[in-house]
């Protein structure tokens, strides 16, 4: 193995694996932040630290690194890079050097995020960076800005690259309606990235301008407006949920098809109604993050309607998931277990989101642990389990070896149980006690002592699950049994080349027959 | 049944493609962000200058090396992809204009206290310059198709000169306004005026950088039609954005 051919690589598979290593490292760091916070909250009063600002830095690092360093790069970086060119029968992406530039910009962003732990006055602005706090804090807001900018720019150029790749580099005979669902979901995701990421980049840049160059974008005394930031920020950051959601739906949809040996039920509805429905509606719902910051009723009610409308495309995709299982010959290997777990956790998270969309309920639930529990069900556990199901699924292709099934299943049980223990309890204390989120301590809520301890135990369980999983991957990559080209007996194109695939993917570009489909199982 | 013509033997290529330049360029960008942080957050000027001194050669060298390596080796898809990149670029301008509109439409009085009367003749002249440069680059592309290298290079150089003239006028205007006491810190209008014209100016600068990066290989006979079509599209975009800047910032 030649180190130079890894560091300076332009091959999409190696870039994908670099993305995977970087994002999993970010996941571990951000996960440790979560454990520190849970340990701090396990008992009343100062537990690990007596300094609330330290807690704020953990909170910042957990949120920013999980979203920007782990979920988005793992899905639109790793999964897209590794699978898309293989799924569409291309020898690489459209611009391989640009692709290498994306991954290294992402690493530079991660380096900036990790500087949080070594510099004086680290950022303490959550992952949202709201002014006026972010412009007056002694914390280093510039570091937050640059972390977002570098990773955001990496996303934009990856978006340009992948949209071009999918549009122009499909194998001969691979028409749009024969694409894997995952390819569609990545396409939708990158279209959203191109539209929304620049807005986030601008918002966080203007915050640093205000703080360090003395501008007045968000300064009401000089004609600026604080709410401008919240609007710009959520104009990106709500669609960011769908940037994460679409590829994770794509991964589990493909896994469902493979392990049910079945076509995707209602494929066109899931693609044109589901994926593109989300892309279209995603830009009209961001104001629901501002329900309690004050706005006229017509706007609040309009946003409630658009927010609830998101259920329609999501529902279409969920129907496709269930319909794909129906009458399939289902097997329960580890990737499928994680994918099923994703679907369950996503259903809980999605359904508990509906009360939050309803303005009359959200006034009471806003800023409580209910919100935290809800979005952790969707983002943290459904999103992560989907990413990891993708890693398990493509692991034989990447390494040429199988993951140990037994330990894979044990890891799944720990993760799934731990996730529900923490986040169900979290929603519970949010609704019943109105426990406010983000606080360093809960001295005014002695009645939640028991629940806090339960959540901390849950975090340890989920931590054990993830630790077993990572260890299993490392050991299986070295010592696992040989996989062969197509261990899951999938019909999808990526399984027709060697494991791991050579540079250029296929000796000759694949040409597809008229009746080829990635889901042509029924005709077996 | 589904058939794949390609029988795969798992025969790996002898070597994997590599390029050092993306790596160099990203380190340059990291050093640039650190330079800003050292200067403006920690007020450490010497380390900031050192970081800048590391950053600029890496960035410029990275771009030069990248261009030299890639020029003429397959920009077939770059024109199509530039459209998507422009979508992202346009959203940056939309965000800045949104910040401006939010502030302006909610302001109890406009112009805000401290604002000055902007010159009217200069922006018209700047508009004419930039629009002319869009025509000259179009002219250059025409000669590119006719494989007339010398005329092509000549028209590209004229375009570069017009772009520089535009930036010069913008700099002159900034200098003039700053001397009148109207700065980026004066009020929201100062903030958006310098930010939006500065953002647009930086795009002009990037466009000029693309032309300069391409014109040296072109002088040596390395004419890449894909590159120039894409660069031209970007330049037209910069031109169109200027109409929004002029109408919203100068003449509203």
pLDDT for res B12 = 44
Domains of chain A, CATH where assigned: 8-496 (1.20.210.10)
pLDDT for res B75 = 64
Tell me the chain B residues in contact with residue A510 when contact means C-beta distances shorter than 8 Å: 4-6
Question: Between the CA of residue B47 and those of A283, A364, B37, B51, B60, what are the distances in Å?
Answer: 42, 50, 10, 6, 20
B91:A198 CB<8 A: yes
pLDDT for res B16 = 84
pLDDT for res A330 = 94
A8:B19 CB<8 A: yes
Encoding tokens for residue A275?
């994926």
Q: Say if CB A403 and CB A335 are below 8 A apart.
A: no
Return the minimum-mean-pLDDT range out of A4-18, A313-327, A350-364, B59-73.
B59-73
Cα first-last separation, chain A: 40
Across the interface, which of B10, B36, B106 has its CB nearest the CB of A142? B36
pLDDT for res B2 = 31
Encoding tokens for residue A153?
């720019």
Tell me the chain A residues in contact with residue B98 when contact means C-beta distances shorter than 8 Å: 228, 231-232
Confidence of residue A523 (pLDDT cuts 50, 70, 90): low
- CA nearest to B19, candidates A335, A10, A22: A10
- Is the per-residue pLDDT at B184 higher than 70? yes
Q: How many angstroms separate the CA atoms of A42 and A36, rounded?
A: 10
- Is the per-residue pLDDT at B73 higher than 80? no
Q: How many angstroms separate the CA atoms of B137 and B158, rounded?
A: 8
Question: Between the CA of residue B48 and those of A349, B43, B51, B214, what are the distances in Å?
Answer: 46, 8, 5, 31
B84:A164 CB<8 A: yes
Express each pLDDT in A278-295 by its tens digit: 999 999 999 999 988 888
Q: Please compute Rg for chain B using Cα positions.
A: 22
B16:A510 CB<8 A: no
Mean pLDDT of A13-41: 96
Q: Say if CB A366 and CB A292 are below 8 A apart.
A: yes
Give the best residue of B9, B12, B17 to mutate against chain A (max A CB count within 10 A): B17
Mean pLDDT of A319-323: 96
The ipTM of this complex is 0.92
Question: Between the CA of residue A498 and those of A163, A468, A480, A488, what are the distances in Å?
Answer: 26, 28, 17, 14
User: Nearest-CA distance from A162 to chain B in Å?
Assistant: 9
User: Nearest-CA distance from B77 to chain A in Å?
Assistant: 7
- Is the per-residue pLDDT at B223 higher than 90? no
pLDDT for res B8 = 35
pLDDT for res A1 = 64
A507:B6 CB<8 A: yes
User: Nearest-CA distance from B229 to chain A in Å?
Assistant: 16
The structure tokens 């589990």 sit at A252
Q: How many pairs of residues across A and B have Cβ atoms under 8 Å apart?
A: 220
The structure tokens 């390494």 sit at A399
- Is the per-residue pLDDT at B76 higher than 80? no
Q: How many angstroms separate the CA atoms of B27 and B55, rounded?
A: 7
Give the best residue of A114, A215, A502 to mutate against chain B (max B CB count within 10 A): A215
Q: How many angstroms separate the CA atoms of A375 and A75, rounded?
A: 18
pLDDT for res B6 = 34
Mean pLDDT of B179-200: 94
Hey, CA dihedral for B92, B98, B101, B106, is it positive or negative?
Answer: negative
Tell me the chain A residues in contact with residue B16 when contact means C-beta distances shorter than 8 Å: 2, 5, 9, 11, 14, 503
Encoding tokens for residue B66?
């990248």
Q: Say if CB A224 and CB B195 are below 8 A apart.
A: no
User: Nearest-CA distance from B226 to chain A in Å?
Assistant: 13
The structure tokens 């980026």 sit at B184
A160:B78 CB<8 A: no
Across the interface, which of B2, B190, B191 has its CB nearest the CB of A520? B2
Q: How many angstroms separate the CA atoms of B47 and B34, rounded?
A: 9
Express each pLDDT in A437-482 by its tens digit: 999 999 999 999 999 999 999 999 999 999 999 999 999 999 999 9
Kindly provide the b/e burial profile for residues A399-433, where b requires at least 16 CB atoms within 10 angstroms of the residue's own CB. bbbbbbeebbebbbebbbebbbbbbbbbbbbbbee
Mean pLDDT of A8-28: 96
Q: How many angstroms separate the CA atoms of A149 and A199, rounded?
A: 11
Q: Say if CB A240 and CB A321 are below 8 A apart.
A: no
Strand residue runs (E) in A157-249: none
pLDDT for res B220 = 86
Q: How many angstroms separate the CA atoms of B58 and A324, rounded?
A: 51
Question: Between the CA of residue A477 and those of A31, A90, A363, A465, A472, what are the distances in Å?
Answer: 23, 26, 49, 18, 8
Across the interface, which of A96, A120, A156 has its CB nearest the CB of B88? A156
Return the minimum-mean-pLDDT range out of A2-6, A192-196, A336-340.
A2-6
A223:B103 CB<8 A: yes
B30:A150 CB<8 A: yes
């Amino acid at each position: 193995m030649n180190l130079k051919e890894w560091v300076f690589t332009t091959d999409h598979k190696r870039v994908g694996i670099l993305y995977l290593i970087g994002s999993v490292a970010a996941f571990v760091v951000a996960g440790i932040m979560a454990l520190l916070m849970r340990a701090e909250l396990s008992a009343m009063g100062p537990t690990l630290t007596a300094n609330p600002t330290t807690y704020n830095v953990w909170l910042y690092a957990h949120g920013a690194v999980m979203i920007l360093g782990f979920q988005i790069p793992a899905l639109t970086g790793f999964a897209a890079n590794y699978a898309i060119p293989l799924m569409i029968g291309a020898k690489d992406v459209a611009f391989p050097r640009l692709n290498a530039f994306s991954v290294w910009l992402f690493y530079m962003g991660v380096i900036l995020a990790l500087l949080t732990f070594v510099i004086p006055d680290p950022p303490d602005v959550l992952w949202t960076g709201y002014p006026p706090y972010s412009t007056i804090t002694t914390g280093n807001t510039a570091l937050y800005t640059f972390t977002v900018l570098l990773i955001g720019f990496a996303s934009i150029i990856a978006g340009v690259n992948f949209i071009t790749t999918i549009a122009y580099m499909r194998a001969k005979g691979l028409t749009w309606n024969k694409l894997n669902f995952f390819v569609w979901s990545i396409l939708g995701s990158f279209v959203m990235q191109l539209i929304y990421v620049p807005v986030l980049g601008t918002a966080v840049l203007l915050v640093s301008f205000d703080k360090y160059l003395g501008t007045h974008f968000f300064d009401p005394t000089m004609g600026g407006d604080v709410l401008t930031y919240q609007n710009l920020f959520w104009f990106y950051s709500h669609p960011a949920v769908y940037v994460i959601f679409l590829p994770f739906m794509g991964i589990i949809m493909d896994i469902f098809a493979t392990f049910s040996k079945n076509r995707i039920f209602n494929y066109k509805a899931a693609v044109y109604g589901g994926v593109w429905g989300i892309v279209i509606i995603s830009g009209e719902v961001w104001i629901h993050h501002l329900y309690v910051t004050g706005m006229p009723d017509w706007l609040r009610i309009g946003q409630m309607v658009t927010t609830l409308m998101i259920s329609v495309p999501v529902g279409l995709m969920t129907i496709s998931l269930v319909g794909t299982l129906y009458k399939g010959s289902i097997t329960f290997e580890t990737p499928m277990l994680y994918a099923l777990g994703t679907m369950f956790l996503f259903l809980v998270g999605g359904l508990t989101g509906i009360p939050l969309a309803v303005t009359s309920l959200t006034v009471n639930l806003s800023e409580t642990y209910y919100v935290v529990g809800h979005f952790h069900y969707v983002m943290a556990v459904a999103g992560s389990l989907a990413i990891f199901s993708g890693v398990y699924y493509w692991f034989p292709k990447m390494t040429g070896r199988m993951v140990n099934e037994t330990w894979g299943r044990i890891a799944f049980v720990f993760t799934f149980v731990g996730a529900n223990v923490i986040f169900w309890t979290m929603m519970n204390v949010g609704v019943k006690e109105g426990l406010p989120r983000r606080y360093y301590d809960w001295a005014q809520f002695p009645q939640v002592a028991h629940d806090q301890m339960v959540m901390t135990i849950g975090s340890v369980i989920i931590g054990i699950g993830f630790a077993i999983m990572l260890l299993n991957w490392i050991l299986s990559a070295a010592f696992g049994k040989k996989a062969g080209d197509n261990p899951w007996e999938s019909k999808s194109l990526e399984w027709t080349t060697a494991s791991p695939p050579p540079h250029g993917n296929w000796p000759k570009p694949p040409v597809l027959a008229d009746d080829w489909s990635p889901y042509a199982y029924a005709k077996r | 049944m589904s058939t794949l013509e390609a029988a795969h033997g798992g025969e790996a290529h002898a070597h994997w493609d590599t390029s050092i330049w993306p790596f160099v360029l990203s380190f340059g960008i990291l050093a640039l962000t650190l330079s800003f942080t050292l200067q403006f957050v920690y007020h450490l000027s010497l380390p900031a200058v050192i970081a800048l001194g590391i950053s600029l050669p890496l960035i410029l060298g990275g771009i030069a090396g990248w261009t030299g390596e890639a020029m003429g080796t397959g920009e077939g898809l770059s024109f199509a992809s530039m459209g998507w990149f422009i979508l992202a670029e346009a959203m940056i301008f939309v965000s800045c204009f949104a910040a401006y509109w939010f502030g302006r439409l909610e302001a109890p009085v406009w112009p805000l206290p401290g604002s000055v009367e902007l010159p009217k003749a200069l922006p018209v002249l700047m508009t004419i310059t930039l629009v002319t440069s869009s025509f000259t680059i179009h002219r250059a592309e025409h000669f590119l198709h006719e494989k007339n290298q010398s005329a092509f290079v000549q028209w590209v150089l004229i375009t570069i000169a017009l772009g520089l003239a535009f930036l010069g006028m913008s700099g002159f205007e900034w200098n003039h306004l700053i001397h009148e006491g109207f700065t980026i810190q004066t009020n929201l209008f100062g903030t958006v005026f310098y930010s939006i014209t500065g953002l647009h100016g930086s795009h002009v600068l990037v466009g000029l950088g693309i032309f300069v990066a391409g014109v040296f290989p072109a002088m040596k006979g390395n004419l890449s039609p894909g590159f120039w079509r894409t660069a031209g599209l970007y330049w037209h975009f910069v031109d169109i954005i200027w109409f929004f800047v002029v109408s919203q910032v100068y003449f509203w």
